């Protein structure tokens, strides 16, 4: 891999580094954003973080590419780039494959290069909220569920409401 100015690289631990810059100090070849973030050898050929040539989390292992939405793939497996293909297979499912009638859920993909596979989209989580009732049982306030109901609401007049999924 050749390190180039202005490009983004993925570190060994999966982070996206900031753009590479030429170092001012000739003992070091490359900086990422600023000198406190990391330095790399001047060969431009390796991604080992200095001062060591041992594997480290900051090593650059590949040019950065934005992650692909694995639920939106429409390309046959054999035509996917290597990173997307590996991410798809490593996901673990559930999966779908495209057949003449549309998308079909599958349990054990055969991973044929001419077949289009994708991760099955999960249904959206239903919305939930707290509803406060007045003395006559009418709604007089709501609050989204992100924990317990508001402290000043009486428990005997507070109910949890969950939206039912539409088919």
Domain extents in the chain = 9-63, 77-119, 128-162
Q: Is the pLDDT of residue 128 over 70?
A: yes
What pLDDT score was predicted for residue 57? 73
CB 139 within 8 A of CB 133: yes
pLDDT mean over 101-121: 94
Task: Tell me the pLDDT tens digit for each residue of 11-36.
Answer: 777 778 766 666 665 555 555 554 33
Q: Please give the average per-residue pLDDT across 135-145, as a whole number.
A: 77
**Helical segments of the chain, H only:** 82-91
Q: What is the pLDDT of residue 157?
A: 78
Per-residue pLDDT at 166: 59
pLDDT of residue 144: 73
Distance, in Å, from the CA atom of 61 to the CA atom of 57, rounded to the nearest integer, reads: 10
CA–CA distance, 4 with 30 (Å, rounded to integer): 9
Q: CB neighbours (10 Å) of residue 47?
A: 21
Name, in order, each residue with C-beta under 8 angstroms of 48's C-beta and a sequence gap of 6 or more.
40, 41, 54, 55, 56, 59
- Full-model pTM: 0.47
Classify 122 in phi/psi space as left (phi over 0), alpha (psi -120 to 50) or beta. Answer: beta
- The predicted structure's pLDDT at residue 44: 47
Output the six-digit token pair for 93: 């499912």
Task: Look up residue 103 and give its two tokens.
Answer: 């998308």
In this structure, is the dihedral angle defined by the CA atoms of residues 29, 21, 6 and 32, taken in order, positive or negative?
Answer: positive
pLDDT digits (tens, 9 = 90+) for 58-81: 777 778 878 789 999 999 999 998
Tell me the range of 19-28, 96-105, 122-131, 157-166 where mean pLDDT is highest. Answer: 96-105
**Residue 36: what pLDDT?**
39
Res 21: pLDDT: 66
């Amino acid at each position: 891999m050749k390190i180039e100015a202005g490009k983004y690289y993925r570190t060994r631990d999966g982070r996206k580094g900031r753009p590479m810059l030429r170092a001012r100090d000739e003992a070091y070849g490359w900086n990422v954003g600023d000198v406190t973030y990391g330095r790399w050898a001047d060969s431009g050929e390796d991604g080992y973080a200095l001062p060591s040539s041992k594997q480290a989390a900051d090593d650059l292992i590949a040019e950065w590419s934005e992650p692909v939405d694995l639920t939106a793939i429409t390309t046959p497996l054999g035509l996917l780039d290597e990173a997307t293909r590996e991410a798809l297979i490593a996901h673990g499912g559930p999966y779908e494959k495209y057949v003449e009638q549309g998308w079909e859920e599958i349990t054990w993909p055969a991973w044929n290069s001419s077949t289009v596979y994708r991760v099955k989209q999960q249904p959206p989580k239903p919305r939930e909220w707290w509803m406060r009732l007045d003395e006559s049982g009418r709604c007089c306030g709501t609050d989204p569920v992100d924990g317990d109901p508001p402290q000043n609401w009486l428990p005997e007049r507070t109910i949890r409401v969950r939206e039912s999924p539409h088919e």
